[in-house]
C-alpha cells in the first residue's frame, strides 16, 4: 500500500454562518438608516436642486456658487462660520482644560466627597437646554437678575454689564453658559481614563519620586491623550451642530445684530423661514451640506492624522 493511499484527506471545516448576528443588528441598521443615512442623502440631493419655473430642477453646484458668491448670502454665511469657530475655540480653551483639571482633582486618592462633587458637576448636563437658557437669562438680566446683586456683595458691581445684550460680549457669554452646562462630559471621560491607569505604573512613578502634579504631567497625561482626543472631536462635532442653547437664549435671529449667529441658527432660518422670511429648502440643504463637509474634514483629520500621532506619543 503506497503512502498516498495511507494519507488522510484533510477536509476544511466550514464554519456555520451566524445568522442570528445579522438578525439582532437589523433593527439598529434600519433605525440608523431611517434617521441618519436617508436624511443625509436627501440633504445632499436637495443641495443640487432648486425651483425653476415652479418645478424642481437640477442646477449642479449653482447653490454653492450663490452661497459663496452672492454678497447677501456670503456675508451671513461667513459671519456664522467665524462665530462658530469662536464658539468652538472657547469650548476647547475653557471647557476641556477645566474638565481635565476637575478630573485630576477628583482622582486624588482618599479625597472625601468625590461622589457628591462628581454628581454636582455632571448634573447640569442632564438639564434641558430650555431650562438652562431661561435660568441664565434671568441671572444675567440687568433688571431682575441676581448677577448685579452678587457682584455688589463683593464690591465688583462696576464690572457688571448686559453681556447678553452687547454684540461684543453676547457670543462669549452664551459660550460660557454652554461650558457650564456641558463641562461634566469631559470631566467624566477623563476621570474614567485616569481610573483605568494601572496601579503598577503609579507605584513605579512613586518609587522614582514622581508624585503630585509632576506625576500627572509626566505619567498620567501622556496615557490619557487618546481620551483627550476623543473629547476634542466630540466638542468639534457638537459645536458645529449647536443650535438649541443659542436659539433659547438669543432667539432665531441670534442677536444682538447677528453677533451670536452660528451655522445651526443660519440653517434654521434659511430652511424653515422666520417671521416674514420664507424658507428655502435648497439653500438650507446647501448650508447643511457645507456643515457636513466641515465636520467630515475635522473628523477625518483626527482619525487619520492626530489619532495616529497620539498613539505613537509624538505629541
Return the H-helix or E-strand segment holding 226.
Answer: helix 225-240
What DSSP string describes 29-61?
HHHHIIIIIHHHHHHHHHTTEEEETTEEEE-TT
Per-residue confidence (pLDDT) for residue 314, from 0 to 100: 42
d(CA 259, CA 83): 8
The residues facing 21 across adjacent strands are none
Q: State residue 51 phi and psi, 5-degree precision.
A: -85, 120
Do residues 225 and 310 touch, judged by C-beta distance below 8 A?
yes
Nearest to 285 by CA among 69, 63, 82, 80: 63
Give just the sign of the alpha carbon dihedral 296, 299, 302, 304: negative
Q: Which residues contact 193 (CB under 8 A, 6 or more apart)?
A: 103, 223, 224, 226, 227
In terms of CATH architecture, what is 64-311? Orthogonal Bundle (1.10)
The residues facing 302 across adjacent strands are none
Q: 124: how many CB neighbours lie within 10 A of its CB?
A: 16
Q: Which three cell numbers stand for residue 314?
A: 509624538
Dihedral angle of Cα 144, 178, 105, 207, to the nearest 10 degrees: -160
Per-residue confidence (pLDDT) for residue 246, from 0 to 100: 94
The residues facing 164 across adjacent strands are none
d(CA 185, CA 171): 22
Q: 47: how many CB neighbours lie within 10 A of its CB?
A: 24
Q: In angstroms, what is the C-alpha Rg of the chain?
A: 27
Per DSSP, the three-state class of 7 is: coil
DSSP letter at 210 equals -
Dihedral angle of Cα 307, 41, 56, 265, to the nearest 10 degrees: -50
Domain with CATH 1.10.3720.10 in the chain: 64-311
**pLDDT tens track of the chain, all 315 residues?**
555 555 555 666 777 777 878 888 999 999 989 989 999 999 999 999 998 878 889 999 999 999 999 999 999 999 999 999 999 999 999 999 999 999 999 998 888 999 999 999 999 999 999 999 999 999 998 888 888 888 888 888 888 899 999 999 999 999 999 999 999 999 999 999 999 999 898 888 888 888 888 888 888 998 999 899 999 999 999 999 899 999 999 998 898 999 999 999 999 999 998 876 788 999 999 999 999 999 999 999 988 887 777 665 443
Q: State residue 134 phi and psi, 5-degree precision.
A: -65, -40
Nearest to 263 by CA among 48, 40, 41, 76: 76
Place of cell 445684550: 165
Amino acid at each position: 500500500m503506497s503512502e498516498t493511499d495511507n494519507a488522510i484527506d484533510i477536509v476544511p471545516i466550514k464554519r456555520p454562518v451566524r445568522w442570528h448576528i445579522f438578525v439582532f443588528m437589523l433593527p439598529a441598521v434600519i433605525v440608523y438608516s431611517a434617521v441618519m443615512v436617508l436624511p443625509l442623502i436627501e440633504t445632499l440631493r436637495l443641495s443640487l436642486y432648486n425651483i425653476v419655473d415652479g418645478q424642481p430642477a437640477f442646477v449642479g453646484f449653482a447653490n454653492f456658487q450663490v452661497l459663496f458668491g452672492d454678497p447677501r448670502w456670503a456675508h451671513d454665511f461667513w459671519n456664522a462660520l467665524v462665530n462658530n469657530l469662536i464658539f468652538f475655540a472657547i469650548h476647547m480653551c475653557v471647557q476641556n482644560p477645566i474638565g481635565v483639571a476637575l478630573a485630576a482633582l477628583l482622582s486624588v486618592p482618599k479625597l472625601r466627597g468625590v461622589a457628591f462633587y462628581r454628581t454636582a458637576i455632571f448634573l447640569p448636563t442632564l438639564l434641558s437646554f430650555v431650562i438652562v437658557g431661561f435660568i441664565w437669562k434671568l441671572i444675567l438680566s440687568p433688571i431682575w437678575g441676581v448677577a448685579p446683586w452678587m457682584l455688589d456683595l463683593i464690591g465688583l458691581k462696576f464690572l457688571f454689564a448686559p453681556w447678553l445684550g452687547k454684540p461684543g460680549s453676547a457670543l462669549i457669554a452664551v459660550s460660557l453658559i454652554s461650558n457650564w452646562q456641558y463641562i461634566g462630559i469631559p470631566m467624566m471621560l477623563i476621570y474614567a481614563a485616569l481610573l483605568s491607569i494601572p496601579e503598577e505604573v503609579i507605584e513605579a512613578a512613586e518609587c522614582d519620586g514622581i508624585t503630585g502634579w509632576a506625576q500627572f504631567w509626566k505619567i498620567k497625561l501622556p496615557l490619557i491623550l487618546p481620551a483627550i482626543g476623543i473629547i476634542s472631536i466630540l466638542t468639534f462635532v457638537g459645536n458645529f451642530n449647536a443650535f438649541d442653547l443659542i436659539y433659547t437664549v438669543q432667539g432665531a435671529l441670534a442677536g444682538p445684530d447677528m453677533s451670536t449667529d452660528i451655522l445651526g441658527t443660519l440653517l434654521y432660518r434659511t430652511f424653515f423661514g422666520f417671521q416674514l422670511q420664507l424658507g428655502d429648502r435648497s439653500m438650507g440643504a446647501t448650508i447643511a451640506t457645507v456643515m457636513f463637509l466641515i465636520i467630515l474634514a475635522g473628523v477625518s483629520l483626527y482619525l487619520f492624522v492626530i489619532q495616529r500621532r497620539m498613539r505613537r506619543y509624538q505629541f
